[in-house]
Structure 1
Amino acid sequence: MPTRPIHEPRREDCPWCGAPGPRTRLRAPDLRHGRPGMFTLDECRACAHVFQNPRLTPEGLALYGAAEADAARRRRHRGTARAIQRRCAEPESWLDVGTGDAAFPEAAKELFPYTSFDGTDPTPRVVAAAEAERVEEAYVGHLAHPAVLRHVRGRYDVVSVLHHLPHVLDPRAELRAAVAALRPGGHLILELPDPASAFASLLGKWWHAHGQPHHVHLLPPANVRAELEEQGCTILTADRSAAHLPTDLTTATSLSLHRSVPAPLAGTLTAAARTADVMLAPVLSHTRLANSYRIIAQRCA
């Protein structure tokens, strides 16, 4: 059992803009693993930032463990890499933030065989990734930690931050550190779940991006854009359709059935939902049901 609190005190203001009186967006248990506890996501009435409240402490996050990587997201890594290729054909150096086992650098190397990829991650998985030669340099810890940031500041032509910010306690600090790691003129690519997706209200606690207790923050794109511009970046693209992940129906079906329906039936229904996600994605990605967004920004010279 942990000897320190696993929750911080509940806060009555927004951690992003400081506005008072957030509203409750939803309450949900740990649906994926069934571990004890009920978690609350609040939403700022002023800037629409969504945040876990009370928030887990670092000890609490460690206790509940990390969420599994999403298989559909892995399949889309090449598309993410191509989005940078159109802007920066031959980057010399690339840092992947929150890289985990470095699945993204491994996929991106197919398009950028001469690029040096490094990675950061809060877990030692990045060390194993370096040993497997999926990244060259590995840094254990959050990018914003001074011990990590001093090694990477101003070094990279490209920095990627893919579905990592929802899992960190201070996403603004991590975002600023990502900008700081860029060389002047370097490119930053971000992918994040969109809290304004219509799937959020349709699926509620079953929506994959609400994923409690692992998603501590959900950042509206307008807030991220404003922060990047304040840090001296130019927004090159901001797009939902290319970043959409065909996982909404699959995850909702799996989470809602896996403890209440016999495994063979649950598997059949989940497979049907996966097929529907994939078939509908080309249409849904251009509607309010798009569940993610991608921002590409350039650090001013």
Structure 2
Amino acid sequence: MSSRETVDFIYEAHERIKPFVHKTPVYTNTTFNNLIGKEAFFKCENLQKTGSFKARGALNTILKLKKSNPNLKGVVAYSSGNHGLATAWASHLAGVKCSVVVPKTTSEFKVTAVQGYGAKVVKCEYDPISRLEACETIATKEGYEIIHTSDHDDVIHGQGTIALEFLQEVPDLDAILVSASGGGMISGIAIAAKAINNNIKIFMVEPKGKMAEESLRSGKRLWPNPPQFIDTIAEGLMSQQLGNLTFPIICRLVEKEVFTVGNEDIINGMVFSFRYLKMVIEAAAGATVAAAMSEKLKQMDPGIKKIGVILCGGNIDILKLPWYSSTYQNGPKRFKLF
């Protein structure tokens, strides 16, 4: 299916969810522009319902399910945080029962937030296989539908609504930086953005250890199996592998050059956002800020002048900010701004 054909579903998703989600603002910052030598436009999904972009895909999926099956028994999702929170919120809104499977290591901050929407939380071992198996067990036992984190058409179409709003407000963007875990958000954004402007460039941002660029360049899934989590402070970017559905979309529509950022880069992106943008963002969003600040971007085609930066979420425990960890005793970077 071509991106032009698929974008119709994204427009339909936007009409479906827009009464319930925020049209998040786009902010600019002169200090940041001076630092990177380009114009940056921040799409603030950290201000979205439930604190992340995940609300879009979860709600689109559940509303479609409810319409096609008014007797829907319930839904179940597996998530380290944001997708579970979004699924719980969307289920509460739609009047549907919900269970969320989380790793045992998930912070009580996120568990309590999920439970606040009336969802049942089930804890499992800290690995992708255990999480999926627990989810499938609940789905079979209760007759629930699984709401995938990223690898589902309706989830992808919901996330793609970000690009519709973004390019309506800033139609002449040259590129968009998007962090990726399973790849639902970047797939949806790429489908919509490339359908609107085929010349726009969509770049993936990943944490160290994801190793996506080699797979994108080869067009083959080169990750080791079984699937595993990456050691990163960005909980929302832990999955090493892109999804089976999202991978071919990304290979077709996303640039092969991938921005890889380490934990200290992510922290510096977060600190800049807190300090100068006055924005509370989580580590997965700090990754895209770090990519926009990188030497790699500065050395790219000088024709890339207007950069979209997706601030994907803001769900972080404010009492456990990573730059106060003993692992990063040197503290955040001091920026030379002018």
TM-score (norm 2): 0.30
Higher relative contact order (CA 8 A, sep 6+): 2
**Richer in helix (by share):** 2
TM-score (norm 1): 0.33
